[in-house]
Chains A and B, each alone.
Chain A
Amino acid sequence: MLIEYLPIFLVFGFAIIFAIATVFSSTIFGPKRPTSEKLSTYESGMKPIGTTHDRVSVKYYIVAMLFIIFDLEVIFVYPWAVQFKRLYAELGISIFFSMLLFLVVFEIGFLYAYKKGGFKWD
């Protein structure tokens, strides 16, 4: 195993304990006097109307979909960025163009989304 990752697991352990302790501390120290008025959903002083788990707009789906695709693009860029200087010294300019081609192909998708109004929010 990679020993350098052990501190990260310790940090996770600490963060989980800290988070649980913080969130539950007010159940221990705070009062508990619930009334039905107090436990009702806040809606600017009115009685809540309709359902809250309504359908959200399809635009959020499009944003999430485009996010996955461009996130993958970023993930492909990292190994290239880390090795760029070393591979440039070995292979020359071709390493630049191999990524440029990849990015250009991706930006066709971006321009298509732009043109089709995938980023329109009004």
Chain B
Amino acid sequence: MGILELIIVSLIKIIVIAVVMLLTVSYLVYFERKIAAWAQNRIGPNRVGPAGIFQPFADVLKLLLKEDIVPTAANKQMHTLAPMIALFVAFSTFAVLPVGPSFTAFGKVFSFVVADVNIGILYVLALTSVGVYAITFSGWSSGSKYSLLGGIRSSAQMISYEISMGFSVAGVILLAESLRPIAIVNAQSGWMWNIILQPIGFITFLVSAFAETNRLPFDLPEAEPELVGGYHTEYSSMKFAAFFLSEYANMIISSALIVTLYLGGWQIPYLELLNLSAGWVVILQVGAFIFKLVFIMFFFIWVRWSIPRFRYDQLMNIGWKVMFPLSLLNLLWVAILAMIL
């Protein structure tokens, strides 16, 4: 494949993924509100369009037409930069995550991933660690006490859970012998899903993913009773929307990561017994990935509206004293498993 062809194919993939991602975020917010309403015996959004399905567009339009307020106490450049970092991280992480298997059509090999690179999963972890700056800088630059406290709390929370996340991922790559997400999915063929082989690793990764995305029960940075809005107290209009957007985009990416690492990606067990044509297999497998993704995203929302928030000391205790040793034990277990198998 020539460089020009590679650039064009990649650009098409990037635009398709970005559009799908923006639409998913919009409807994720809508469904979150609907599920919240259902969990709390309310109706939820129901005014804009039938059953409120155009609500996300109304929300975006409203935020777009709001005044962009930068407080006088704020550092203007940093205040503008922070939401950009958040969006940049949220919209560049998807590059290595595969949605479906590679397939051959018109004599060419196509893949459902923008970049299949040797460092794969580490690319995701590297961007996650850069994402901390969006929160630290927004907290520091706003010139508000709530923002500063929310920002520094949140960054300490994110770095604490990055450790157990890293060790959980190490267990996965030990079995796959590669950092490439496609190789990780291929290693989980049949029923060899990592959720079955290393359930403890799955739990530590899941909890860390909740903490990394600042979702309840780990949404301490925006604990309303004590910190108002946390690190985005002083943000309005599209800058606020940028944080909101990146939070939900990170939720999609975390769900996709959980599906890829632990739920076998696009794999459907015993699919080969049905003797389907290659085209149907690809369609079914992409469908399986989307089904698993939707299930995990529903789980994220379900947890948010069921479990109360942790106290900050409890949160740090869980991160360092429970999740970190558990993820280490999981790594040892996986190593022993690999030696037995």
Contact = CB atoms under 8 A, between A and B. Distances in A.
B328 A14 contact: no
21 contacts: A3-B3, A4-B116, A6-B115, A7-B14, A8-B95, A8-B123, A16-B88, A22-B245, A26-B66, A30-B64, A39-B69, A39-B72, A41-B144, A42-B144, A42-B228, A43-B144, A64-B156, A67-B159, A100-B332, A119-B320, A121-B313
Contacts of A112: none
Nearest to B339: A88
Contact of B177 (A6, A42, A56, A85): A85
B237 A26 contact: yes
Please classify the interface of chain B as helix (H, G, I), strand (E, B), loop, or mixed, using the class held by over half of its residues: helix
Interface in A2-22: 2-8, 10-12, 14-16, 18-20, 22
Nearest to A106: B328
User: Considering the complex of A and B, which 5 residue pairs feature the smallest CB-CB distances, nearest first?
Assistant: A121-B313, A74-B166, A26-B238, A26-B237, A19-B87
B238 A22 contact: yes
A5 B117 contact: yes
B71 A6 contact: no
Of B65, B73, B162, B238, most buried by chain A (CB within 10 Å of CB) is: B238
Contacts of A56: 148, 152
Given A23-B84, A78-B122, A88-B339, A15 B148 contact: no
A71 B237 contact: no
A18 B10 CA distance: 16
Interface string B314-341: 0011001100100010011001101100
Interface in A51-82: 52-54, 56, 60, 63-64, 66-67, 70-71, 74, 77-78, 81-82
Contacts of B159: 63-64, 67
A3 B312 CA distance: 45
Please classify the interface of chain A as helix (H, G, I), strand (E, B), loop, or mixed, using the class held by over half of its residues: helix
Given A16-B88, A67-B162, A7 B6 contact: yes
B68 interface: yes
Contacts of A38: 69
Nearest to A74: B166
Interface of B: 3, 6-7, 10-11, 13-15, 18, 63-73, 80, 83-85, 87-89, 91-92, 94-96, 114-118, 122-123, 140, 142-146, 148, 152, 156, 159-160, 162-163, 166-167, 170-171, 173-174, 177-179, 228, 233-234, 237-239, 241-242, 245, 312-313, 316-317, 320-321, 324, 328, 331-332, 335-336, 338-339
A26 B71 contact: no
B152 A25 contact: no
Contact of B170 (A30, A39, A74): A74
A6 B146 CA distance: 41
A44 B114 CA distance: 46
A10 B71 contact: no
A121 B316 contact: yes
A52 B166 CA distance: 34
B338 A78 contact: no
A30 B14 contact: no
Contacts of B14: 7, 10-11, 14
B179 to A, nearest CB: 7
Contact of B63 (A6, A8, A26, A53): A26
Contacts of B332: 100, 103
B115 A77 contact: no
Given A63-B156, A103-B328, 20 more contacts: A5-B117, A6-B3, A8-B114, A10-B11, A11-B94, A14-B11, A14-B18, A22-B87, A23-B238, A30-B67, A30-B237, A30-B238, A31-B67, A43-B145, A43-B146, A48-B144, A77-B331, A81-B174, A84-B335, A96-B336
